[in-house]
Structure 1
């Protein structure tokens, strides 16, 4: 029987915390607009933090499926960018300590990893686990982004917005498994799935990260520095609007999405956010146009 504690190494100076929130996101699963990656990356860039625990990535990752980048210089190898899956401790804008867990999603030993996280949750006296990511939806960027909340118990869901999903089966993720397994053990765990316009799902969309972190603040009371992220969101929105104004096809498509979204929000009889009778470019076609625009911007 493997000991889950063998999967991680706890720092010698691991802090004694009082009911901290553990905010987590793993790279590798669906994350439309890079909502989760941008959100946690922003916090790690803006807040002072230090590592309190690291996981054994040699056991958890399949290097052949996502090979680390190595640097070759003239006649020798000089560097290897080793992946890191770690837990950090930081303080929010009010000085409240909390934990961040980020890194690549494990490829193997999911159940043992969940037990290892549970052991860390007990050791660090975590009060609540929170995750966020983006999901592609047929919604226009000109409307407020929606959020689907999910939690280990209904009392944790504090918004009035009803879910747009019924009972569905989807490919699993480690983030979802943690909520399921630790919730079954009595730990509070919840997540926020930000509704990202499907035509922007492959691009970085900071507005989705802003929406996600604002939801985390409402759900946990943690306060984050947001100015830089909001400015990035503003710039991205301006660039998107420039592209739309330059294309009558995009303008028509976005207008159609707005009409469908408004009808859905008003309670029109429609099962989903896509009208079947309106001829419009697909999400892939819209995304391709935006990707061409973003590539041209990068070249400039």
Structure 2
């Protein structure tokens, strides 16, 4: 069986952007996978393909699951990467969404299959979402760092460039594969407070959704996620206040954040419309040899 298994082949996707997130090392607080899942739910995305897990996963590390259907029938569910299409008529482009656990093996082959998929669908931009643990307070706006395949595009999109050096996840390998194929790509990373790493972080998921919106020119009604983010911040604040040691630690993080270089006010970042226009201009400026 070929690794890429099609349920059906979508036709007529308009200038699609491929947005990816992988559970595991790249997904602190489940923020990245939650962001992509929210985008899919908001636009009634439907699955059209998956990557067969047999060659790519250690099933002792990422185990299949048994579930009961109708209370009696036992059904086996294997870990896999699932791929969805989302038609967005009021936006300049449609979305292809990819989510699943980070693979264990054969990362280069795995990413080559994703690039092949993107090329087959006419994808114009690949965006990966990630979340990392950081010394940041939960009470401050979520910092989004990132990079793009072109430094000029990074600047135009208002991304705070990442200076990270060290081990990488599947997202780093995917960006390298996109670069080899001449496929424009961008990476967004949300900073998640390490002292609440075990809890799902809708605040970070919301920050990623907002940046993806601007990057690909697609909007969503995020009211539900905004409420979840507000509830999250309130609950974490209450938990912090109940422990004097933790509260003192968080206050130190807040002071450190204030003492750093002038923080970026979200109002000073490019609007979604501006970001979308800049990305379109970037694509137009690329000659045939650059694409």
Q: Report the TM-score when normalising by structure 1.
A: 0.79
Superposed CA deviations along residues 7-61 of structure 1, whole A, max 9, x for unmatched, are: 2123444223232000011112232221102112222333312122221112222
Distance 1:185 1:256, change over 3 A: same
Instruction: Summarize the alignment of residues 26-175 of structure 1 with structure 2, pairs less than 5 Å apart.
Output: 26-71=22-67, 78-92=74-88, 94=90, 96-157=93-154, 158-160=156-158, 162-163=160-161, 165=163, 168-170=165-167, 172-175=168-171
The structural deviation recorded for 1:71 is 4.7
The structural deviation recorded for 1:72 is 8.2
The structural deviation recorded for 1:64 is 2.0
1:228 aligns with 2:215: no
Q: Aligned partners of 1:206, 1:181: CA distance in 2, in Å?
A: 30
| Paired position in structure 2 for 1:270 | none
The structural deviation recorded for 1:83 is 2.3
**Unaligned runs of at least 5 residues, structure 1:** 268-300
Query: Number of aligned pairs?
Result: 259
The structural deviation recorded for 1:230 is 0.8
Q: Aligned partners of 2:120, 2:194: CA distance in 1, in Å?
A: 40
Aligned-residue Cα RMSD (Å) equals 2.4
Select 1:25's aligned residue among 21, 30, 33.
21
Q: Aligned partners of 2:24, 2:159: CA distance in 1, in Å?
A: 28
* Structure with bigger gyration radius: 1
The structural deviation recorded for 1:215 is 0.9
The answer on whether the counterparts of 2:8 and 2:49 sit within 8 Å (CA) in structure 1 is: no
Q: Report the TM-score when normalising by structure 2.
A: 0.81
The answer on whether the counterparts of 2:21 and 2:98 sit within 8 Å (CA) in structure 1 is: yes
Instruction: Summarize the alignment of residues 201-220 of structure 1 with structure 2, pairs less than 5 Å apart.
Output: 201-220=197-216
The structural deviation recorded for 1:127 is 0.4
My pick for the range that moved more, 76-85 or 41-50, is 76-85
